[in-house]
Amino acid sequence: MKECPRLAALGRRQFLRGGAVAAAGAAAVSVVSTTPARAVVPAARVDYPASRLANVRDLKVNEPMQIAYPDADSPGVLIKLGTPVDGGAGPDRDIVAYSTLCPHKGFPLAYDSTDKTLSCPGHFSRFDCEKEGQQVWGHATQNLAMFRLTVDTAGDIRAVGADELIYGRTRNVLSENTVSLRRG
């Protein structure tokens, strides 16, 4: 993930004032898009798309891959940590994905491979990628949104949900057009 050091440098000196999402850049992501089948009674919870992020063989241990989920405007990272963790997916229970918009003020988080944390250059908040995004120190009033993953027999990794509100949204899924209506 070459973006992160650059973003951190930018944050350090220029104190990003906006457009964190634009700065985070567009990511290659394939979102399953089908025509939504409108329910007569709206569901009580958000319906998430099931988005293919990568295949297990694409991942190298401790090298984050930039993703976006549940749509292209919501950047994140996909990481194979190398050791099993709570919430880890895949045969080794070590694949995790997180939003990279800091849940404090939406600055782009940078990955530090030395201790497997995501840190915010804006106000120094830190999140532990090995503990489901627990805030180690910082100003966010929630832990980091973790994307729930499934891995199929072919090794395809899909994001299928999120466990906290993503920064900058009042609803994690903004447009029903991206929803594949993965229910159940």
Partner 1 sequence: MTYKTGIDQLPIPPKDAKVQNVTCDFCIVGCGYKAISWPIDRQGGADAGDNVFGEDLNQQQGAESPAWYNPSMYNVVQQDSRLVHLIIKPDKACEVNAGLNSVRGGRMGVTRYSEQTGTMTARLTQPMVWRYSQMMPTSWDDSLSLVADVTRRVIEEMGEDGVIVSAFDHGGAAGGYENTWGTGKLYFDAMKVKNIRIHNRPAYNSEVHASRDMGVGELNNSYEDAELADTIFVVGANPLENQTNYFLAHWVPNLRGETLDKKRQMLASEAHAPARIIIVDPRRTVSVNACEAVAGKENVLHLAIAPGTDLVLLNALLTEVVSKGWQANDFIAQHTVGFDEAVAANRISVEDAAAVTGLASADIRKAAQWIAEPKAGGTQRRTMHAYEKGLIWGNDNYRTNAAMVNLALATWNVGREGTGCVRLGGHQEGYVRPSDAHVGRPAAYVDQLLISGQGGVHHVWATDHFKSTLNAEEFRRIYRRRTNLVKEAMDSVPYGDRQAQLEQIVAAIKRGGLFSVVVDILPTQIGEAAHVWLPAATAGEMNLTSMNGERRLRLTERYMDPPGVAMPDALIAARMANAIEASFRKAGNGAYADQFKGKFDWKTEEDAFMDGYHEHAEGGKFVTYDRLRSMGTNGVHEPVVGFENGRLIGTKRLYTDGKFKTADGRAKFMKAEWRGLQVAGREQQREKYAFLINNGRNNLVWQNAFYDQHTPFVRERMPVAPIEMNPGDMTTLGLQAGDLVEVYNDVGSTQAMVYPTPAAKPGQAFMLFIAPTGQVGNVISKATNELMIPDYKNVWANIRRIGHVPSADGMSFKNIEYPQTL
SS3 (DSSP) at 58: helix
Q: Which residue in the set 10, 46, 50, 56 belongs to the binding site for partner 1 (CB under 8 A)?
A: 46
Token pair recorded at residue 20: 């964190």
- DSSP 8-state secondary structure symbol assigned to residue 140: -
**Between residues 141 and 153, which has the closer beta carbon with respect to partner 1?**
141
Q: Is 123 a catalytic residue?
A: yes
CB of 62 to partner 1, least distance (A): 15
Residue 45: CB minimum distance to partner 1, A: 7
The correct pick among 10, 32, 73, 93 for binding partner 1 (CB under 8 A) is 73
Q: What is the DSSP string of 4-28?
A: HHHHHHHHHHH---S-HHHHH----
Which backbone phi and psi does 34 adopt, to 5 degrees?
-125, 165
Cis ω on the peptide bond leading into residue 36 (within 30° of 0)? no
The residues annotated as belonging to the active site are: 104, 123
Question: Could you list the residues that contact partner 1 (CB under 8 A)?
Answer: 4-5, 8, 12-13, 15-22, 45-46, 73-74, 86, 103-107, 110, 112, 114-115, 117, 119, 121-124, 126, 128, 130-143, 146, 162-165, 167-175
